[in-house]
Each structure stands twice: as C-alpha cells, then as structure tokens.
Structure 1
C-alpha cells in the first residue's frame, strides 16, 4: 500500500470542499479506494458526536454520546487508539459482525483541540501502525479544512427539537416542563422570547418565567397580565379555532386588538401556536423585537414542540392524579393510612397531637338506611371536620368511620380546644363524634401514641359519646 499516495489523493481533494460535510465525505470516499475498511468521520455537534460521513457498513449510528465507545474515548482524550482485537476492548461499538481491528484518531483544530474523530475498522489483516500514521496526518488536514470552512456543521433545527423533546419528556414537575418548553421554543425558532399560556381551574395563567426583567419576554408577560384573563382567553380561542398563525409584518397593517398587548411590549414578529385540546389546553407565543417573516417550517416545528410539550404535561398530570388516588381515600378525598403512617413517624414529642375520631352510631345508619346513606354521612362529616381544622392541620381516614387529625400545638389544652371544635362541627350537620387526644411522649413509637388516643376515645364512648378526652401525658 502506497500510503503517500493515499495522503496525496485526499489532500488534493480537500481544498475543493465548500462545506465541512463535503470535506468529510471526500476524505471517506478517497480513503475507501485504498482501505477495505469501515470508515467514518464523526464531528462534535452540540453535545454529541454526529456521523457526518461513512462507508463500508450496512448501518452506522447517527450520533454517539461523546463519552461512549472507542470514538468517544478518543474524542475525550484527544489521543489515537489502535485496537488490534476489538473483542478485547470493552468500549468497542459493533457496526459489522466481522470487524477484528480498529484505528481511531482525533480530528483536531489548528490549536490542537478535538472537534471529532476519524475511525477505520478492518475485518481482515491490516498494517495498523502504517494506517495509524496515515490516519493521523489526514485527520490533521481534515481538521484544518473544517475550521477554515467555519467549523463543524451547526445543529439543525430538527436536531434541536429532538434534543429538547428529550428534556420535555424527562421534566420532573410542571414548572420544569414549562421552563423547558419555553427554552426549546426560543432555541428552535431562533426568536428571542417565548411565553406559554395554560388554562387552569381559575382561567388562563402564564407559565414559568425564564427571562430577565426588562427583556421582551418579561415585557410581554407584564402586558398580558395587565390585559387580564379575558384577553388571554380570546387569544387562546382564536388559536384553537383557526390554528397556528405568524406575522408578515407588512407596513400599514396593524395587528388585531387581541394582539395589541404584544405590540405594546415591543414584539414585531410573532408565532402563535395552540397547545393541547381547546377545553383545557393553552397557547404558545414566540416573539422577537426584530421585524422578521417566520417561514412555514418554523411554524411546523413550533406545532410539533407544542404537541410534545402537551403530551409531557398530560403525562405529569396523569401521574399526579394516580399518586393522589394511591394516597387518598376515594370516597372522602382524605389521605389514608399510608400517608398517615409517614406523617406520625415525623411527629414532634410534646408538640404533635393525634386526635382519634369515631362517628357515633354509624353502624345504625348503615343498618337502617343502607351503605349509600352511610357514605353520604362520611363525606359530609369529612368536609365539616376539614372546615373546623386550622390551616396546616391534617385529617386522615384510616378505617370505615375512623378518622385521625394530626395537629401541631404548643400545649395539650390547645389540642383539646381543637378537638372540641370538631365535635361542634359534627353537631352542626346533625351528627356526633367521640374524640380521643394524645401527644407523643419522648421516645414513644407513633403506634403507641395512636393506641393511647384510641383508648381516650373509647373512654368517651363509655361515658356517653359526643365528647373529648385527653390521654394522660
């Protein structure tokens, strides 16, 4: 093999390349005439190594994380790797079943920083030392040409959207999701501001802020907040009725009244995209102070982003509902034994009071009027007891007609007063309850504290019901 001829052939072609992708493809094509190998060039694009040119394999990986495989190892270290037996290298990424050896060299810029790798894999005998030298010399020429052409190819908008879609899917909370959606909208559209408006129980609301005060995005948020829910509702309705829209920005043609708050904030370019279903979705607004004309591709990408954001949001809300159902009583909506056990495990001795509550005569209601009537009694009583508790107090249903309130108090007498408020609340809806009160002792288990509260409750039962008793400290 005349390695000087290989180098000469590639070197002659490189100056004719007008893009980094062309330079990589010509390098791979020229090398393939001399080396019966799988050949590829991977360049860093954002946070991954993208396969820009390849030959000699039925399939290659489009992108590879920069810390994965032999290519990732070479890129991270900036040092060549010669592997005589790929089966013995744990980092080898299989692309052909018959590969036996590999030479991977870093593609460096003129300052010596890695911008990618040139990788050659053989399925037969090869002079690896000679090919190492040839590959390193070609990679140096290729790196210089890529830098002269402006560097590795930029991340495409579809690649950006794919990357952001992964961030949306993995967002742990609605706040994180809204922040990720707004960031994605700005990045993919290349416009400077994005605002997400979602319909909630109390009407339209603005999503998580991501811009500094004074920026276009913060000014838009301020104008929309001042315009009020009605104006936001009209904008959402328009988008869901007619679909996504974008500005032409033609002189002498002012915006509609519904979009006036955006122009007052300084927006001269706008893309408006519906999010989710008309009844409970919202609106994604992407804007810029520059007078631009967004192309239809940008609008399509924003529609895809809005769809992905809504799917991720719907998933988060579904999971939240399932968690709530798993931790709450389906009849009364109160939390049940699982959360109660966690709460009393964190009880503070001398400060956390447990109020064991039992409905007087509940069995007679079920026996006389049926279980549906009993269910109505339990629901009504749950609402009455919740209303009598203070903010921060917690009420649990731990059995058929058994409730427990967990409250923080300064003195035992305070716990008794709150228990008496509960009995009064029950009387107001035509029921009576018996309440036993206990405060945890130092070193006492939560189960034992609850047992003492139950004992105090049964003392009330024995003494005629409809009352409160405090367990001994």
Structure 2
C-alpha cells in the first residue's frame, strides 16, 4: 500500500488531492479514514471516507482528534469503549488510531482512522507511514493552504459574536478587516446624529493619520458611504478626488477604502488605508468588508444596549449615581487597589424636615442638586454614590489621613457654597492594609455619628481602628 500511495501522492498537485489520496488508500484496507488540517485555530476536515456525518471545525483538546493535535502525540485506542476522549461519529466503531501530521517540524493536522474491528500492529504501521508520506507531500507542495479571506472573516465573526465590550469589538473589527485585504491600516469612525464625526479606534502605520484627519476629509469619506454604498481607490494620486481628500493623501494615505453601516441613529464607518498607491480591492473583498461592517454594527448595537442595561441596573434612577449595591461592589474591588482608599459617608442634615415642608418634588430636586455638587467636588477616578434616601457615599484615592480629611472638607464646603438650603455631615475613614469592608465602613459610620452628636454640618476622620477621631473645624 505504501509504495502505491507514494506514486499517487507524487501525482497530487494540491493539498486537497493529496489528502484524498491517503484517505482512499486507507479506505481500501477496510478502515474509516479522515484527514484534518489546522486552520485558524480549528481542525478542518480535508478528506473522509465511510461516514454519513462528520465533525468539522474541531477545537484542539476535543475528542481523540483534537487531543492528538494539541499534544502532538499519537493516540491509539484499541477499545474505544474504555476511553473517555472518544467521540462517536459512526455505529459499531471498535478501535481508533490518530497520528499527528508534522510539516517542516510544525504540527499541521492529523490522520485519523477508525475500524469496526481491532486495528492490528501492521495496519497501524501503514497508517503511520501514510501520515509521514502525506506530510512530506504537503511540505513539497508548499505547506497547508492558507485561510481564504472568507474563512478569516468567519473566524473573526465567531469571536465578535461573543464580545460585549465596545473597545474589544472595535479592535477585533480592525484586525478582521486588515486580515481580509492587502491594506495595512484601518480606523473606525462614529457619525453622531448631530453630524459630529468621532474617530474611535485605529490600527497600523497610518493609525495616527486616520485618527487626526481633518473633519473636512472625514466628511468627504462619510459622504461616500452614508447612503449604504462603499468606496475605494481606483486611480493614482492627482486624479480627480473629492473635496477634503487631498489632506489625507498628503499625509501618506495613497490608497483608501471606506464602508458604512448604521447603529441606531449613529453611522459606523470603517476606513482602510495604505501608503502604497492604487491598491484596488476586488469585488469579493469589497463584499466581505461590507459584511464585516454590518457585523460590526450589529455587535456594537448589542454591546451598547447591554452596557446601557448594566448602567441602569447599577444606577440610582433619581440622581444617576451608583446605588447601594454598586457602592459595595466598588468598595470590595477597592481592596485590590495599590494605593490608599478613603470611605466618606455623607448624610443630608434635616432632609426629612425639608421634604415634609417643601414637598417630595422639591426634595427630589434637592437630592439631584446635591448629587451634582458632590460629584463635581471629587477628582477624576473617584466616585460618589447615593446609598439611601438622604445618604451619599464616596470612594476616594488618597495619600493618607490628611488628604482624606481635606477631601471631606472640600465636599462640605462645596455644598455650603452651592446655596443649598441644607447642610451635610461627613464621616471619613481610610482603609488600613488588610482591613475588611465592614470594618472600614463601621469606622466611617462612627465618625459620622460624632459629627451628628456635635450638631451636624461638619467633617470627622476616624484615624485608627481603635476608634480615635479628629474633628475638622468648620
């Protein structure tokens, strides 16, 4: 068999023909053979005999075939019923042998055979010899065939479908686009309902050029794709071009392609560019990129909707601040921060009396004003929460007790200077190394109680876990 197979393989002029030749030779021995080659992180069936239905696109470590590829070691199941990795594809299978394929020293795939009887040692040697002969022929033919643009796009589409983060989606879309065409750079734009054009992400040598392109140039590109059409370079620089495009050409974008798709009331635009002139896309590439842009639009729409739901679920509807559960989640996460974190608990003084005398509508308006004032009073990266009816909290990154105390004073002063009809009482505690959430909260609450006992409208810092406090003069 091996000699005849060698003759047949030498006549095979492509990898697919070589794989089929091996399968036919092994099938003639009464075996159920298949050949899988890795492509895009999955094992793709190249040839098979004796099955009505097969598995394709198998992941490494899946079944005998995937495990053989993942480990690079032969798998010989003399009794498939005794092995948990066996995946049934046909009735009556008794034994299975899977041999890795190495091309130029690298794992490229597997040759797999099953049988409804025991596989003898002589047959096993023939399978191994067939795998070696196939690997040699694949190597002589230049290696396994590369992914086609459509196959690459399908691989990226699977990843996109699982993504829920907008930034991750943007990066994946750009990677997919640049895999599919010979252009080297790409960018994603969002055209908002007010016609403002926002560059969102970019990749490649011309990333800076695309992100910093003048609005006039971006509007020219958007004008080509707003109606749903695509646009790409067909001539050399200097030939007729739309108004505003000269600046992009002058910055090095000698070839350009653009595609658009809507997301709600926003237009997503994919731009691809290259420093080389006259790189013209063919019809198949254009259609693939149109599909990719539509997929990007759908994925972004889903991610945005999910983010909005997450924000709603974590937000106090009256003030727009994080609510009680969000505060505790953030406090728990802050335990991993490298620096010091201060917890501020803030009560609105005499809010019930204000609410009773002025009415609930006025009370709601006051709470919204206070939320705005407190949020503006903290630094970027610090957060304010509404954790109860008239209770707020803040998590601040500080350098120590003194800075935490000063931050509390700034918030108290900000409320006083805003013209608010009420004052606030603030208790402060800085989390000690290894201190639990309940402990630091209890210390901040203890400090707040001291303020209230002193007549409200003040700030107190709990300095240590032993209960020492220092009141801030106001």
What's the TM-score, normalizing by structure 2?
0.82
> Residues of 1 paired with 2:186 and 2:330: CA distance?
41
Relative distance call for 1:459 and 1:255 in structure 2 (3 A) is same
The 5 A counterparts of 1:149-188 are 149-171=141-163, 173-188=165-180
Match of 1:3 in 2: none
Match of 2:7 in 1: 12
Match of 1:314 in 2: 301
Match of 2:108 in 1: 115
Match of 2:235 in 1: 249
The question of whether the paired residues in 2 share the 8 Å contact of 1:351 and 1:410 is answered with: no
Relative distance call for 1:385 and 1:117 in structure 2 (3 A) is closer
Cα deviation, residue 312, structure 1: 2.8
> Residues of 2 paired with 1:84 and 1:339: CA distance?
57
What's the TM-score, normalizing by structure 1?
0.83
- Asked if 1:236 corresponds to 2:222, the answer is yes
Superposition RMSD in Å: 3.4
Correspondence for 1:35 among 25, 29, 32: 29
Match of 2:126 in 1: 134
Structure 2 residues not aligned, in runs of 5+: 462-468
SS at match of 1:241: coil
> Residues of 2 paired with 1:46 and 1:351: CA distance?
45
Higher helix proportion:
1
- Which piece of structure 1 moves more, 142-151 or 69-78? 69-78
Relative distance call for 1:320 and 1:249 in structure 2 (3 A) is same
Cα deviation, residue 150, structure 1: 1.9
Match of 2:464 in 1: none
Match of 1:459 in 2: 453
String of CA shifts for 1:111-165, please: whole Å, max 9, x gaps.
5654332222112x35522221222222232222222222212212222112222
Aligned positions, number: 451
String of CA shifts for 1:223-249, please: whole Å, max 9, x gaps.
661413x54244224312242222322
> Residues of 2 paired with 1:266 and 1:440: CA distance?
53
Cα deviation, residue 301, structure 1: 0.9
The 5 A counterparts of 1:205-216 are 205-211=198-204, 215=205
- Which piece of structure 1 moves more, 341-350 or 263-272? 341-350
The 5 A counterparts of 1:40-439 are 40-76=34-70, 78-109=72-103, 113-123=106-116, 125-171=117-163, 173-199=165-191, 203-211=196-204, 215=205, 217-218=206-207, 221-222=208-209, 225-228=212-215, 230-249=216-235, 253-277=239-263, 279-288=265-274, 289-342=276-329, 352=342, 354-365=344-355, 367=356, 370-389=359-378, 391=380, 393-407=382-396, 408=398, 410=402, 414=406, 417-426=409-418, 428-429=419-420, 431-439=421-429
